[in-house]
Structure 1
Amino acid sequence: MNDQRSLEQNLVQWELDLLQPEIRSSSAVSRLLADDFMEFGSSGRVFTKADIIALLQTESPIELQASQFETRMLAANVVLLTYRVRRISEPPVLSLRSSLWEKRGETWQMVFHQGTPVPG
């Protein structure tokens, strides 16, 4: 049970890291995202790992606050992580987020992510 709790804490921390401007523009993103990563964006577009890395390099820093993390083990090497993110701006924007993390070898990487805006 301690191993599962430790894994959950690590996954939440990696998600929080990916919300930080200094991480979003660094090589850490490449390590956290699997080569076959895919994202369904709130715009309806589908993004690859290369797309996300390129977009984050040109992104203006934004303040994001995450809460209500929940994890669900789907298999011994797959975890679904869901949470809420509030973009701190006027007007604030709330979104529901979900990520699939998969253990590949000894490394956990995000293989899928989706952000869905919550109607205001």
Structure 2
Amino acid sequence: MGLGYIKLNQALDTFSGGELQRLKLAHFLLKQTSDILVLDEPTSGLHEYNVQKLITLLHKLIQKYPLTIIVIEHNLRLMGQADWIVDLGPYAGAHGGKILFSCRPRELYNQGQTLTAQALRRYWK
């Protein structure tokens, strides 16, 4: 999960949001108390190499367990690997929160006119 550098007894307030999400994932794997896992920006602070490792891990989890994984994410690589995307916007805060597109990543890439669709096309070009 890209957390091999963490020290035993390291204070939680020293972790980034992405590190905390990956710790949450590790805890979930140990306890497995639910069939739904929600992650909020798990790629935050990750190098692209480790983003791919996280994607691979999430795919393996879905294959091994009857598991639904919901990820709130801005990383375009991870978004492109999703089974389904709900694109919210058009902006953040009071100017957001509306469902703009709900579909497979390929459909968003091909047909979407949202800021997310434009970013996906630039990234995957």
TM-score after normalising by structure 1: 0.26
Greater per-residue helix proportion: 2
The structure whose Rg is larger is 2
Give the TM-score of the pair, scaled to structure 2.
Answer: 0.25
Which structure carries more relative contact order (alpha carbon 8 Å, separation 6+)? 1
